[in-house]
Amino acid sequence: MPKALLLENIHPFAAESLRNHGFEVETMKGALSEDELIDALDGVDLLGVRSKTNVTAKVVAARPNLTAVGCFCIGTNQVDLTAAGKQGIAVFNAPYSNTRSVVELVICDIICLMRRIPAHTHHIKQGMWDKSASGSHEVRGKTLGIIGYGNIGSQLSVLAEALGMRVVFYDLEEKLALGNAARCNTLNELLEQSDAVTLHVDGRKSNTGFFGEDQFAHMKQGAIFINLSRGFVADLDALKRHLDSGHLAGAAVDVFPVEPKKSGDPFHTPLAGEDNMILTPHIGGSTLEAQEAIGHFVAQRLEDYVEKGSTSLSVNVPQLNLGPHTGVARIAHLHENLPGVLARVNHVLGDENINISAQSLATEGELGYVVTDVATMPSDATLDKLAHLDGTIRMRIVR
């Protein structure tokens, strides 16, 4: 029976689904360190993680027999995708399933900060009655600057306009503007006109420290800042300086440069003492609806890979969207993207007079993936030849 290990309190639906597909499933609430993960992966075929567990090159090298990794979240920067691909370990994620949850939290943060709800809440808890409109604003008519106009940024754009906000955005890639949103040619152009600035950039290493002292300095007087993207993107010390000086009117931060491994662990941030501040523990996508959708989506990708060889929506191996096999068996062959591999696969099968029922090939970058349905089960000798063809990374039978 194949074994799956699900970490970080992944939604129970994923475990239930995998068990229904014949997997032995072990679940754990917290994240694991590198060495702990290597030990835990002994005999494991499928690994499920969220954002805290790092699947490094060391982990991949120590457990090369791992079949696939499911990232039950949007990002995959916690996995060394290149190292995994070179070992034939397919990686899947859920790029869209929690989009709405993140967008709704951003809208909530914008309204609360504009109305100074965090500050008023703090004052009244301290026994101070401060009934004043000073510094409080409607969001209608204000300008929202969205940095990163992908799945989340574009949906946020639509909802913000429905609230009566004017939307501008900045993205390095060419993106279709939705509604009346206007594209800015430079980041500073966006910062200088936005009453609220929200970050929605991805987790690539080049975005480390992307938003720092210079960017905060270019923001409008009295603007608010929101980061629900990645903790390493924004300089929180610079943010604190601009809040303390009165330059910025408030901020909401959901992600931090260093975060605890599991719920209940202590956490400290110098931003905790700020007046009009919303601090949340990386819960942008943490709604029951989103987590169930992610559990369903990623579990299905893992099941399809194991049972059909389908790599649809994988982030590190060539993509083939496959249905049930049409022959006696299916041979999935992941290899280096070298000329002639397909011909050599077919030559080996032809030497045993094995008829091919169907065949699909995809290549991407340094990898190639060919899936062959055969009318006769190959002998062990033929399978051994396929597994040792030049450039072979991984060969497996999908029955």
Catalytic residues: 230, 259, 282
Residue 340, sorted as left (phi over 0), alpha (psi -120 to 50) or beta, turns out to be left
Name, in order, each residue with C-beta under 8 angstroms of 198's C-beta and a sequence gap of 6 or more. 106, 110, 144, 145, 146, 147, 156, 225, 226, 227, 228
Asked if 63 and 84 count as a contact pair (C-beta separation under 8 A), the reply is no
HSE (CB half, 13 Å, CA atoms) of 165? Answer: 28
Residue 43, sorted as left (phi over 0), alpha (psi -120 to 50) or beta, turns out to be left
Q: Based on DSSP, count helices (H) and strands (E) in the chain, helices before strands.
A: 13, 16
**In angstroms, rounded to a whole number, what is the distance separating the alpha carbons of residues 331 and 399?**
9
**In angstroms, rounded to a whole number, what is the distance separating the alpha carbons of residues 238 and 81?**
32
**In angstroms, rounded to a whole number, what is the distance separating the alpha carbons of residues 333 and 388?**
11
Within 10 A of 141 (CB to CB), how many other CB atoms are there? 11
